[in-house]
A and B are shown apart, each in its own frame.
Chain A
């Protein structure tokens, strides 16, 4: 039954010598403790998001120069590129949380994986939409079957499959377990898909921020990009904590209803 997962795990075998990282994971497995921490972190993340987003957008939209080739449309990049990064980042964090949930039966990690999926899907969708808006003036078309676009689209499908599976069971605990397995299979598959679609000849420009020999982008453009990336990350932390709190509350309500029904 689903409410069992809310029972904090306090009993420990003193003979087992756990590493400090393990202890920290265990420490967070208590939802009440997690919520206390979350209440303190959330406002910080929210204000950081507002500040970083304002700074990033100001620098990106008003202070940075227009590109000599792409002119003003280059500004779409400040929204687009960090969204694409976050789409991938969220998938990896979802898979890590799913793995932690499966291996250590960690209730909050399960909820974190479930809560990450819609956020990651939104970032991926945002990256696809802004990318296609940018593609119209640049490539003359909203969509091309280029390697990066295609792998982002497949990533979105992975997210949607995960969200569909997690909600398809009457018992939410089983839904998270099943979809955790899916997330782990997916994270093996994401690089394979990425590499497969690169088989096609690609229109998309290659990576220009993270590569050997330093970034090939001018600081006036790099700064807003990085600020936006940090803003997206703090936004992710903020919304993730909020969603996990929501999930915990939903589980408590479900447990209370069950107690009412079963006496």
Chain B
């Protein structure tokens, strides 16, 4: 447990000292969403209709952008090899890195989301649900993304490849994340969507660390 927390602490330190990385992810998130009113036009009705989807898609893309570096830097300087030799099971090491990724990108995205909801004229009934859906959904994104990030270790053109691999895997989270917000705005019950998002999260915790660890083992072999 101690070494598990140590990895989280180390990665958080690294993220904080390099500082700009998670800030850039949030800036990307904001700018990507702000492009939509320019592309579609500023009518409040249309913006409000597409707001949940646009915010969710931008969150997917933002969290994907930062995933490339999840294992890459450690792989390049050799520390991933040392981590994989440590007594802590590699699955837990991967989980620790996923938690750090969520803390450094998922949480800032969730904090920035209400601002974007205001900019996109989202119905006020949807605000709370947008946050709840993001809180339930973004950890799944980090977990699924970790598998992709581990698979591209040592590959050519890793970044583009990563998006090709994991964006299709994100689709279920996107569907239910958006549908929870839409349901809340229309006054329908949202319990089903939230339960399914929770189920995705539990399923991802059960599967993804193992798949990612298998890929990391293959990469450092």
Contact = CB atoms under 8 A, between A and B. Distances in A.
A178 interface: yes
A196 B152 contact: no
B169 A185 contact: yes
Contact of A189 (B152, B172, B179, B214): B172
A168 B176 contact: no
A169 B155 contact: yes
A164 B147 contact: no
Nearest to B218: A177
B60 interface: no
Nearest to B168: A157
A189 to B, nearest CB: 6
Interface string A170-198: 10001001110110111011001100110
A164 B161 contact: yes
B68 to A, nearest CB: 14
Most chain B Cβ neighbours within 10 Å, of A160, A188, A196:
A196
Given A168-B156, A169-B155, A199-B175, A178 B215 contact: yes
Name the prevailing secondary structure of the B interface residues: helix
A177 B71 CA distance: 18
- Per CB-CB distance, the 9 closest pairs between chain A and chain B, nearest first, are A168-B155, A196-B172, A157-B168, A161-B165, A196-B175, A161-B164, A177-B218, A192-B172, A178-B151
30 contacts: A154-B171, A157-B164, A161-B165, A164-B164, A165-B151, A165-B152, A165-B155, A165-B161, A168-B156, A168-B161, A169-B155, A174-B218, A174-B219, A178-B151, A178-B155, A178-B219, A179-B151, A181-B147, A181-B214, A181-B218, A182-B147, A184-B211, A185-B207, A185-B208, A192-B200, A193-B168, A193-B172, A197-B171, A199-B175, A199-B176
Interface of B: 147, 151-152, 154-158, 161, 164-165, 167-169, 171-172, 175-176, 179, 200, 207-208, 211, 214-215, 218-219
